Chains A and B, each alone.
Chain A
Amino acid sequence: MSVLVYTESLKGKFKKNAFEVASYAHKVAQDLGTSVTAVTFNANDDASLGNYGVSKVLKIANDKLETFNAKAYADALAQAAQAEGAKVIILSSSADSKFLAPILTTKLNAGYVPNVVAAPDSTSPFVVKRTAFSNKGFAHTEISADIKVIGLSSNAFGVVENGGSATVDNFSPSLSEGDFAVKSVEVDRVVGKATIADADIVVSGGRGLKGPENWGMIEELAEVLGAATACSKPVSDLGWRPHGEHVGQTGKPVASNLYIAIGISGAIQHLAGVSASKTKVVINNDPEAPFFKAADYGIVGDAFEVVPKLIEKLKEFKAQNA
């Protein structure tokens, strides 16, 4: 009857979202009067999940699952859910979780709601609040199926430490050849740099920067802040920056603590995609730019003058607070 949570890891190390989904699962389990069971795949420090409210870990150690495979992972999670009799399953909003969620949901005849931003409104009936219309609205959605699958929005619930401890049991799902009919040939992942999906801070540049040769200061600002870099749609359409950096309604969503928009006017599609960020800063030389209406802080000024000064001030700040 426990609440099951899929805690993602990369090369053995838990991702930040693993602790957030575990924290959320703990809240749901409290509401339901039950406990949390986490499923891990080739993770190193399984017991550490106890600190985030997990009571039991089903540890899967299997070389064939070293690289993420949506169907095989979904199959393993479905078997874990059945073994635990889980009625609620919590996933993140990562590309991997969103890939496997509909497979898992269909296998279990469950109901799935993604992009959930808060603890359930109620657990009977089971109603959750989620974003809709690309962050231009919210929906309160009831899941009437017996088994509920929830995709938690990134950075919406937060990480909650509670000093608990978890037991670790080995779990060996039986996987078929069909689970591996979609094969990973090569993974090309940027290493040593924050990604838009789980960065606390995202620094984003727009057409106001005039050309790809001017991205040095954006990269430098991001480096000082430990931030991920992003860009507006026109910038990716022009080929100034890779498509993977495009944020907005048709690009990647951003839900960081701090989003800094530089030389981005703030088209409605862009604002929709970044509105889940908690604090938004805009730097633009046009005081009429729509982004000023959506931002918390703004500087009207030439990015080529303001950004280098900001980098300098941040370096001073870091030196003082190191």
Chain B
Amino acid sequence: MKILVCISNVPDTTSKINFTEGDTKFDTNGVQFVINPNDEFGLTRAMWFKEKQGAAVHVVTVGGAQTEPTIRKALAIGADEAIRVNAEPTDGFFVAKQLAEVVKNGGYDLVIAGRESIDYNGGMVPGMLATLLDMNFVNTCIGLEIDGNNATAMREIDGGKEKISTTLPLVIGGQKGLVQESDLRIPNMRGIMMARQKALNVVEPVDAPQPTQDQKFEKPAPKGAVKLVDADNVGELVNLLHNEAKVI
């Protein structure tokens, strides 16, 4: 089995978000970039398939040279090879088209992406990729087993979960649950050393339209001060929620 894990290079979850150039760009100044958490759960599940079922695992990102430390980390965790499509990922459909080209050329059976990136939150790349290639697709995937050509997946739905049966080739939009938080791996020194020897192939993008454009960003309006209610006067909270906030 040949697996491709799609990695998005995103600001660390603790990052303060600011915008620059007249609020038209995300301000990367002082921001630490990491593997998108939803992708990291998928990468870790791919490592399981590699170790238990002998799968080959490649990772891909669409991004400039500044994303290479993130993709090297994926190699240090255990991926065999990496591909970087040398383009700025400014639109979900554009990214899906780039990934479709990589999947076609690489002949992958299983593509694991995250359900969404935690920066632009588009959540569209996995489904678009699957549709472009006519591969099966399961989103918000919280469990995945592969047996030969058959796949059994768990999908998180609103208020529960759904067991799904399908076949390879398959694209999944994964999230926590594919593996647990405690299963995530921190690269060790040997992994980091080995990652330096592994191939990181840079490919140029294919032409693709960008049907959406972010024109301007803004930050949420600053929050007013909290209204404190005395712990001995809980009835006052009920009163405020009913008469002032009008939510009960």
Contact = CB atoms under 8 A, between A and B. Distances in A.
A182 B136 contact: yes
Contact of A133 (B119, B210, B213, B241): B119
Nearest to A154: B158
Interface stretch (A37-45, A55-63, A161-169, A277-285): A277-285
B44 interface: no
Interface string B214-248: 11111110011011111100110110111001011
B51 interface: no
Nearest to B115: A98
Would you call the interface of chain A mostly helix, strand, loop, or mixed? mixed
Interface string B139-163: 1101000000000100111111111
Given A70-B137, A136-B220, A244 B163 contact: no
Given A101-B127, A237-B181, A299-B234, A244 B212 contact: no
Interface stretch (A22-30, A81-89, A103-111, A206-214): A103-111
A294 interface: yes
A297 B138 CA distance: 40
B165 interface: yes
B127 A183 contact: no
A250 B156 CA distance: 13
B162 A187 contact: yes
B226 A188 contact: no
A292 B226 contact: yes
5 contacts: A133-B17, A133-B119, A244-B161, A310-B237, A313-B235
Interface of A: 68, 70-71, 94-96, 98-103, 105-107, 109-115, 127, 131-145, 178, 181-190, 193, 195-198, 200-201, 225, 233, 237, 243-244, 246, 249-251, 257-258, 268-269, 275, 278-279, 281-282, 292-302, 305-306, 309-310, 313-314, 316-317, 321
Given A70-B139, A133-B11, 9 more contacts: A102-B123, A103-B128, A103-B130, A105-B93, A106-B128, A144-B210, A186-B162, A195-B159, A300-B231
10 A-B pairs with least C-beta separation: A102-B127, A301-B231, A111-B211, A195-B159, A189-B160, A145-B211, A197-B158, A106-B131, A136-B17, A102-B124
